[in-house]
Structure 1
Amino acid sequence: MSSELLDALTLLEKEKGIGKDVIIEAIEAALISAYKRNFNQAQNVRVDMNLGKGTMRVFARKDVVDEVYDPRLEISVEEAQKVNPNYQIEDVIEIEVTPKDFGRIAAQTAKQVVTQRVREAERGIIYSEFIDREEDIMTGIVQRQDAKFIYVSLGKIEALLPQSEQMPNEQYKPHDRIKVYITKVEKTTKGPQIYVSRTHPGLLKRLFEKEVPEIFDGTVEVKSVAREAGDRSKISVHSEFPEVDPVGSCVGPKGQRVQAVVNELKGEKIDIVRWSKDPVEFVANALSPSKVVEVMVNEEAKATTVIVPDYQLSLAIGKRGQNARLAAKLTGWKIDIKSQSEAEQEGIYTGEKESLIDRDAFDFDEADSE
């Protein structure tokens, strides 16, 4: 029995990652529970397990008293001294009470308790592992879907991908491998519950971290991300090192790095722009690929008025206002775009200026078309 038990404990430890001590403690608790339930006992008892010999014994713990009121919990000093003359009042004596027919019923009860303990320990391990992965990405395999969720296997557990977090331009089929962003890890009565996303801006940031070594090692910093998943995104980058080109680092040789991210996001267009603490420069960069001739800043309202050449107005605003909307999200500034002729009529612009846009800004769609 001892070798079989040891083999079983070793197997559980390897498969579930649960230490032998945890399992042994669970078995002891299970045997105590089985003893009390099946033999109608209320004593304070403990279980002694000897894995070397393969024995399990039950001991009742009784208080040594002058007068016994409850024989299940107490023993007279005279009876205790028959076992050992050194026992005195208020000592605690242990008497072996292992039933001869501990048997099938007790074993079944013990099995249920052990199973529950092992399940709880396994859930705790999974929760501890995944709570540290919040706001990170993992590769999962699509398992199935229903009206509310797509279920994605992350190895030890299935994560939930809600409809609202699914990209509109993607079709998910069983066995598809996809990268997901872990948004939330919860403890529930049924175990850990993990929610993931394909639309979160954090997914874009983490993908660039994996593709761009300069971001991973901190040479280049991702300052902000604005995303309309499945369609277009903007990302601003910055480096404290003058010799490092943050935009070029993210683009990579012949656009390979950004192309890898675009492929993972099924063709989502990505604008990479240089971040600046100067709102004039930052807003002008964020409106890439359009040219900007002037940016007027209202610090109190955190708003800007941007003037662009007449022929660039539609490009600056973008389809259904998308370019301007993403630029506002990226910079955190309100952006009101006006053409030069409109600004001149309103008297807020009087002359020609060179374009303010940072030509280091990279519009992947534009570069790809060239």
Structure 2
Amino acid sequence: MSGELLEALVDLMREKGLDKEVIIEALEAALVSAYKKNFGTGDNVRVDINRDTLELKVFARKTVVEEVADQTQEISLTEARKINPRYDLGDVVELEVTPRNFGRIAAQNAKQVVIQKLREAERGLIYEEFANREGDIVTGIVQRIERDNVIIDLGKTEALLSKSEQMPTEEYHSGDRIKTYVVEVKRTNKGPQVYVSRTHPGLMKRLFELEVPEIREGIVEIKAVAREAGYRSKIAVHSRDENVDPVGACVGQKGARVQMVVNELKGEKIDIIPWHPDPAVFVAAALSPAKVVKVEIRDMEKMARVIVPDYQLSLAIGKEGQNARLAAKLTGWKIDIKSESQAAELE
């Protein structure tokens, strides 16, 4: 059996990407079950597989006692000392009990248990691989849609794109190739469950990292992202090199870089804002494309009162308040927008 077993182990390691030790340990556990099933014994047994020759041996483990009450679990001190004079009460003696035909029987009965152990080990490897990718982008193919949830094939496992994480402006069809953001990876009895998102701000950040070398190199930093997925987003960027324009780097020549991100997000509009340490300057920039006359910062309330020209008021607020809402989310400040005439009336 050793030659056949060795060949099978090599094949499994190559196919599953598993370590030889993982497979041997799984096989040892499986053979303990096979022994007990086929030889109807209550013995406390251990199966040992030689790591080099793959020779199988079965050992019965018995505790040394003064008087034996259970022969399957215990051995008398007298008998133990016949084996080795050093044995004392409470020690565990291992006696080889390998049946002559154990190799054939074990091979027949251990198969399913071995497969199960291998599946568990493989699931563990897949879990570790994807757990390390939390907060990253994965590319997959839409496999099916179940109760409004989109199941995405990632190759080694599936990902779940729930209704709440789907962009409201998108439709998903089997065979579509899409990029998603890994929000969380959980262990389950059926293997790792990967939860992904198309609406998470992290997706926007990672997409820009893919398209803009200056971000990958750490020259340009994305300070904040605010999204209303599928409709409009704002990102705040800052350059660590005064010679590099962070907005220009993200826009790219003729808008090529930002357009790649817009295309991936199916037309979502993106405002790229220069970050500034002065909250008044930052808030004014965040309300782009509206022009701002004045910003009053109220630190205690974490509020910014913004004054804009009368004709810019609707632009600053945006359709259904979207521009102001995104600016507030991007900057972390509550924003109160007034037109110049409204501000004059309050004075």
1:25 has 2:25 as partner: yes
Answer whether contact 1:181 1:203 (CA < 8 A) is retained.
yes
Distance (whole Å) between structure 1 residues aligned to residue 51 and residue 232 of structure 2: 63
- Report Cα offsets for 1:102-128 as digits up to 9, x if no partner: 477654542222122111111111111
TM-score, normalising length from structure 1?
Answer: 0.87
Please list, as runs of the form range in 1=range in 2, the aligned pairs for 1:1-370 lying within 5 A after superposition. 1-50=1-50, 55-63=55-63, 67-76=67-76, 86-90=84-88, 93-102=93-102, 106-347=106-347
Residue 274 of structure 1 and its aligned partner are, at CA, apart by 0.5
Structure 1 residues 54 and 278, CA, compared in 2 at 3 Å: closer, same or farther? closer
Structure 1 residues 239 and 142, CA, compared in 2 at 3 Å: closer, same or farther? same
- Report Cα offsets for 1:180-200 as digits up to 9, x if no partner: 000011112222111000011
Aligned position for 1:366 = none
Residue 42 of structure 1 and its aligned partner are, at CA, apart by 2.3
Distance (whole Å) between structure 2 residues aligned to residue 100 and residue 230 of structure 1: 69
TM-score, normalising length from structure 2?
Answer: 0.92
Residue 98 of structure 1 and its aligned partner are, at CA, apart by 2.3
Answer whether contact 1:65 1:89 (CA < 8 A) is retained.
no
Aligned residues: 345
Structure 1 residues 50 and 301, CA, compared in 2 at 3 Å: closer, same or farther? closer
The letter of the residue matching 1:211 is: E
Distance (whole Å) between structure 2 residues aligned to residue 177 and residue 299 of structure 1: 46
Paired residue secondary structure (1:321): helix
Distance (whole Å) between structure 1 residues aligned to residue 267 and residue 170 of structure 2: 10
Residue 345 of structure 1 and its aligned partner are, at CA, apart by 2.0
Distance (whole Å) between structure 1 residues aligned to residue 301 and residue 81 of structure 2: 88
Residue 153 of structure 1 and its aligned partner are, at CA, apart by 1.1
Question: Alignment RMSD, CA only?
Answer: 2.1
Answer whether contact 1:288 1:316 (CA < 8 A) is retained.
yes
Paired residue secondary structure (1:300): helix
Distance (whole Å) between structure 2 residues aligned to residue 192 and residue 324 of structure 1: 40
Structure 1 residues 79 and 313, CA, compared in 2 at 3 Å: closer, same or farther? closer
Distance (whole Å) between structure 2 residues aligned to residue 119 and residue 206 of structure 1: 32
Distance (whole Å) between structure 2 residues aligned to residue 124 and residue 18 of structure 1: 10
Gaps of 5+ in 2: none
Distance (whole Å) between structure 2 residues aligned to residue 214 and residue 159 of structure 1: 30
Structure 1 residues 69 and 346, CA, compared in 2 at 3 Å: closer, same or farther? closer
Answer whether contact 1:77 1:88 (CA < 8 A) is retained.
no
Give the fraction of aligned pairs with identical amino acids, expressed as a percent.
66
- Report Cα offsets for 1:145-182 as digits up to 9, x if no partner: 11141001111100000011111121111111100000
Residue 88 of structure 1 and its aligned partner are, at CA, apart by 5.0
The letter of the residue matching 1:197 is: S
Answer whether contact 2:80 2:87 (CA < 8 A) is retained.
no
Distance (whole Å) between structure 2 residues aligned to residue 245 and residue 319 of structure 1: 30
Choose 59-68 or 135-144, whichever is displaced more: 59-68
